[in-house]
Amino acid sequence: MKNSSTPQGDLSAQIAASIRDAIIAGDLIVDARLPSEAELSEQFKVSRPTVREALKRLAAQALIRTQRGATGGAFVNHLKYPDAYDQQITTSTLLLSMNEVSIATACEARFALERACTRLSAERRSPDHLATMRAEMFRQSQPGLSDEAFCASDVAFHRALVDGAQNPVMSYQLAGAVEAMQPLMNMITFTARSREKIVALHGQIADALEAQNAANADDALTELEAYTISLAKDVLDARAHR
């Protein structure tokens, strides 16, 4: 998969890569205990600080966890969905903010991926998911809600839509796409009228999923996509005028 042939970079990077490869290859199974830092420094012929730097690199990716004490050490971590979510969201957010991705491009990707969920979500969504959507819609229609809170509720609504597909892999993949948009959305000032329209479209989506009508949900999502892009465009145009 990768060029593990050419050792590159610092010693700590090489050691981290070596251990990472062992984990991915399955040579180190979940909850297996790595040798102690002292033993690792002997094995790799480096000092303990260098070993520690390598272990911290792995810890940052949630590949290992460490425990102090007599029976402590570094253990191969069971990578759970929340850990993966966090990483994905951080990476996606920075990727969008650093690569001059247009709001149109990001929206296109996000809504296309969300539409990939509608068929499954229409089929499998539980009453819980529908209730979450309605609750978030209610929150969104409260007057006096800050733009940030409105966006956060919007994210929650769409996550409920995605989670309705009852496919954790899909939820994981979509987490980044949905959440990473939030900083971009926060730049938009939502007028009372635009909020009203968005909530109405959310209503159409929720109704369609409740009726298990994926096509209607698709249409509403498409309309929401176009409306979001047009709102963003207005903001950018207004900003250009100043």
Binding site residues, its own copies, CB under 8 A: 1-2, 12-13, 16, 20, 23-24, 26, 30, 49, 52-54, 56-61, 63, 78-81, 84, 86-99, 101, 105-106, 108-110, 112-113, 115-117, 119-120, 165, 167-170, 172-173, 176-177, 179, 182
Q: From the list its own copies, DNA, none, pick the one residue 70 interacts with, judged by a Cβ distance below 5 to 8 Å according to partner type.
A: DNA
Residues forming contacts to DNA in the complex (CB under 7 A) are 10-12, 34, 36-38, 45-50, 52-53, 55, 66-74
Q: In sequence order, which residues have a C-beta less than 8 Å from that of residue 22 and are 6 or more positions away?
A: 28
Binding partner of 216, given its own copies, DNA, none, CB within 5-8 angstroms per partner class: none
- Identity of the residue, 119 or 134, whose beta carbon is nearer to its own copies in the bound complex: 119
Q: Which is nearer to its own copies, 117 or 205 (CB)?
A: 117
Please choose which of its own copies, DNA, none residue 69 contacts, taking the beta carbon within 5 to 8 angstroms, the exact cut-off set by kind.
DNA
Angstrom distance (rounded) from CA 109 to CA 92: 12
Contact partner at residue 74 from its own copies, DNA, none, CB < 5 to 8 Å by partner kind: DNA
* Binding site partner of 108, from DNA, its own copies, none, Cβ cut-off 5-8 A by kind: its own copies
Q: Are 121 and 165 in contact (CB under 8 A)?
A: yes
CB of 192 to DNA, least distance (A): 49
Nearer to DNA by Cβ, of 53 and 210: the residue is 53
Q: How far is the CB of 153 from its own copies (least distance, A)?
A: 14
| Of 193, 198, 191, 188, nearest in space to 238 by CA | 188
CA distance 105 to 128: 32
By CB atoms closer than 10 A (0-12, 13-18, 19+), residue 163 is buried
Q: Which does 232 bind (CB under 5 to 8 A by kind): DNA, its own copies, none?
A: none
Q: Could you tell me the smallest distance in angstroms from the CB atom of residue 187 to its own copies? A: 12
CA distance 194 to 32: 53
Enter the DSSP assignment of 33: B
Buried b (16+ CB within 10 A) or exposed e, 44-82: bebeeebbbbbbebbbeebbbebeeeeeebbbbbeeeee
Residue 66's SS3 state is: strand
Nearer to its own copies, 57 or 202 (CB): 57
